[in-house]
Structure 1
Amino acid sequence: MATIKWVADPAHSEVQFKVKHLMITTVTGYFEKFTIEAETSDDQFTDATKVTFTADINTINTNNDQRDTHLKSADFFDAENHNELRFEGTRYENVGGSDYKLHGDLTIRGITKPITLNVEFGGIVVDPYGQTKAGFTVTGKISRKEFGLIWNAVTEAGSVVVSDEIRLLVEVQLVKQG
């Protein structure tokens, strides 16, 4: 059977992360430039034989220029030496109905660790332009310290400034190629 290739529609996709600040509020950030590619053996996305995601660290945006500059620095992502975040899927498994688990390897700052993401498959439609699209909501959590993002500070009262846990939220529309 032929392999079907899919790529992200950037106008209808977004990659966000959320992190606790001072342990009392959540700051949301996103990547302005990223790619998502997938390969399947059928049109219904019952499998994914290949899933690749990359994000350009230099396009990180938290709606605060000073914070974004700090995130790109060696204290966090070290964009000068590691300008890309990368995920390579290794297994896509149905866990019931439209719910899937996507297992793979995430690389940040040159450190690669296995992670598992929750995937909700929204379905397949043909848009008004004749393009076949597949929709997904992807969520997960990672420990930033496991990837070398260890900077932190403590307030006078002893509170941590930035939490270790990073929540991931990806809304993606993939477009069937060919």
Structure 2
Amino acid sequence: MKTAVKTKWNLDVAHSEISFKVKHMMISTVTGHFEDFSATAETENENFVNADFKFVANVDSINTKNSDRDAHLKSDDFFNAEEYPELTFKSKSFDGDKLVGDLTIRDKTKEIILDVDFNGLAVDPYGQTKAGFEITGKVNRKDFDLTWSAVTEAGSIVVSDTIKLVVDLQFIKE
């Protein structure tokens, strides 16, 4: 029996972005990014079905364009970057549309399902084969012990429990 050859793909950081969106006071949306992250993929086919995806973000690299808010997110109220410096994702399955995997934040691991648009393959002017993905999904921050909460005098929740993930990844074939 012949073993399928796996193709390795490394993240093209210059053309990738990991971001999240969360409602603030239920009237506006705050967007944040992880500035320092890496990802890999291994696949046996060009459509990436059943590919193995791995992702790691450095929690200390969180950036919401507000240093006070970033410091609060890195504190024990949220991510506790000092004790849990990385956020990780490891895929379990990918059918071409849905990516299922384990997301670990702090010391909590939960299975999540993400929607994926695979934008196909292209060869750049330097002869490198690239693959592009747009990934979206939602997680409940309280599932990962990110439980800090406050309510305004008017009764509005300051930070929503639902976090929208917006991930744009481009991989380079090894």
Shift of 1:61: 0.1
SS of corresponding position for 1:71 = helix
- Give 1:36-115 correspondences, 5 Å limit: 36-48=39-51, 50-94=52-96, 100-115=97-112
Equivalent position of 2:25 in the other structure: 22
Shift of 1:2: 1.0
Structure 1 Cα separation of the partners of residues 50 and 90 of structure 2: 15
Structure 2 Cα separation of the partners of residues 77 and 55 of structure 1: 12
Shift of 1:53: 0.6
**Aligned partner letter, 1:7:** N
Equivalent position of 2:115 in the other structure: 118
Gaps of 5+ in 2: none
> Taking structure 1 as the reference length, what is the TM-score of the superposition?
0.94
**Aligned partner letter, 1:8:** L
> Taking structure 2 as the reference length, what is the TM-score of the superposition?
0.96
**Aligned partner letter, 1:147:** F
Shift of 1:42: 1.9
**Aligned partner letter, 1:79:** A
Gaps of 5+ in 1: 95-99
Shift of 1:45: 2.3
Structure 1 Cα separation of the partners of residues 124 and 47 of structure 2: 16
**Does the Cα contact within 8 Å between 1:4 and 1:43 map onto a contact in 2?**
no
CA RMSD of aligned residues (A): 0.8
Equivalent position of 2:16 in the other structure: 13
**Does the Cα contact within 8 Å between 1:105 and 1:113 map onto a contact in 2?**
yes
Structure 2 Cα separation of the partners of residues 42 and 114 of structure 1: 25
> How many residue pairs were aligned?
171
Shift of 1:174: 0.6
Structure 2 Cα separation of the partners of residues 36 and 110 of structure 1: 20
Structure 1 Cα separation of the partners of residues 77 and 64 of structure 2: 16
SS of corresponding position for 1:81 = coil
**Aligned partner letter, 2:75:** S
Shift of 1:47: 3.4
Structure 1 Cα separation of the partners of residues 94 and 49 of structure 2: 9
Superposed CA deviations along residues 146-170 of structure 1, whole A, max 9, x for unmatched, are 1000001110011100000000000
**Aligned partner letter, 1:78:** N
